[in-house]
């Protein structure tokens, strides 16, 4: 985004070679929401990027915990937690460290060692040799220590600032609140007649007697990802969900192909073949990650994690 200008009828937004005109503007830019606000003269917001790192383990460690275990909170948050993911993987983290680079998603040995040591206070028996990967995320923290949802400074503009943890959990309620604020500003709202309250999941739980195989001719039974038992039909279905598939990671996030013990060593080339066949993208042009292509994320090698105490 290059520029936002306010005029009597609303806003003009210049994005690369495109100009967008709108009567209302919702600033929900997360880490960059303070910069968007400054384009319209609002200078009393400052995002303080705060990174949290995690270690993800295999499902064979999931039996160690059956609920989220938090430790005593500190001034930086709820502290290191021990939990299982929705799909049953054991997971520990995150820490909280202020960073300057809002795109810094690296992981470090020092931070991960701190996470390991802290997590062992809650569950001492997890095995580091079952670690699969490390990753990090950056929270859009602010000094006010609370969500800011306001529409008073610029007519027609609603700012959502500092929506860090638990922002994702609060998102549905925040959406309802913003819709009410837009209605008060004069935006006519109407119910979507074809709204679907339930969307069938892409990841289908296989029955115990599932007879799929990597050589099966039926796409519904042809296994592409052995670790997570993801079929060819599930991957193809992900192409028809509205959001464009632009990378290997797009498929990984939607179907879990590549999230298992081998971390894509087996299925990555097969996923590329399907993208090539279905979308016509040459294999050599299919990126791993469409959002950060060209920028390598410096992550601690999983072999180093397995050597830690």
Query: Tens of pLDDT along 34-62?
Result: 999 999 999 999 999 999 999 999 999 99
Over range 276-281, report the average pLDDT: 94
In this structure, is the dihedral angle defined by the CA atoms of residues 237, 242, 247 and 251, taken in order, positive or negative? negative
* pLDDT of residue 206 exceeding 70: yes
Strand partners, 141: 48
Give the separation between CA 199 and CA 62, rounded to whole angstroms: 27
pLDDT in tens, 215-255: 999 999 999 999 999 999 999 999 988 888 889 999 999 99
- Percentage of the chain beyond pLDDT 90 is 82
Give the separation between CA 42 and CA 34, rounded to whole angstroms: 8
pTM: 0.89
Q: Sorting pLDDT into bands at 50, 70 and 90, what band is 200?
A: confident
Q: Between β-strands 157-161 and 25-27, what pairing exists: parallel, antiparallel or unpaired?
A: parallel
In sequence order, the 6+-apart residues with CB closer than 8 A to the CB of 188 are none
What is the per-residue pLDDT for 201?
Answer: 86
Domain spans in the chain, listed from the N-terminal domain onward: 24-47+143-185, 48-141, 192-292
CATH class of 48-141: alpha beta
Q: Sorting pLDDT into bands at 50, 70 and 90, what band is 1?
A: low
* pLDDT of residue 76 exceeding 80: no
């Amino acid at each position: 985004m290059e520029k936002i200008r306010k005029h009597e009828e609303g806003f003009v937004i210049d994005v690369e070679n495109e100009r967008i005109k709108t009567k209302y503007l919702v600033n929900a830019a997360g880490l960059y929401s303070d910069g968007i606000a400054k384009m319209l003269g609002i200078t009393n917001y400052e995002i303080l990027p705060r990174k949290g790192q995690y270690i993800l383990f295999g499902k064979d460690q999931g039996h160690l915990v059956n609920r989220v275990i938090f430790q005593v909170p500190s001034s930086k948050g709820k502290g290191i937690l021990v939990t299982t993911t929705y799909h049953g993987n054991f997971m520990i983290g995150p820490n909280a460290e202020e960073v300057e680079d809002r795109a810094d998603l690296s992981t470090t040995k020092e931070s991960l060692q701190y996470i390991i040591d802290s997590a062992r206070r809650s569950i001492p028996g997890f095995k580091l040799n079952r670690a699969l990967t490390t990753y990090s995320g950056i929270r859009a923290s602010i000094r006010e220590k609370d969500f800011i949802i306001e529409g008073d400074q610029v007519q027609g503009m609603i700012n959502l600032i500092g929506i860090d943890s638990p922002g994702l959990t609060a998102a549905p309620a925040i959406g309802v609140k913003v819709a009410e604020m837009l209605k008060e500003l004069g935006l006519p709202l109407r119910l979507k007649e074809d709204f679907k309250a339930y969307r069938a999941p892409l990841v289908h739980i296989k029955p115990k007697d599932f007879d799929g195989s990597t050589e099966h001719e039926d796409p519904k039974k042809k296994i592409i990802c052995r670790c997570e038992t993801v079929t060819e039909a599930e991957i193809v279905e992900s192409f028809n969900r509205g959001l464009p598939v632009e990378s290997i990671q797009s498929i990984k996030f939607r179907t879990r192909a590549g999230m298992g013990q081998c971390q894509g060593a087996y299925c990555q080339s097969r996923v590329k073949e399907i993208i090539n066949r279905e979308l016509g993208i040459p294999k050599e042009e299919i990126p791993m990650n469409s959002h950060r292509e060209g920028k390598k994320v410096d992550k601690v090698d999983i072999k180093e994690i397995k050597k830690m105490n």
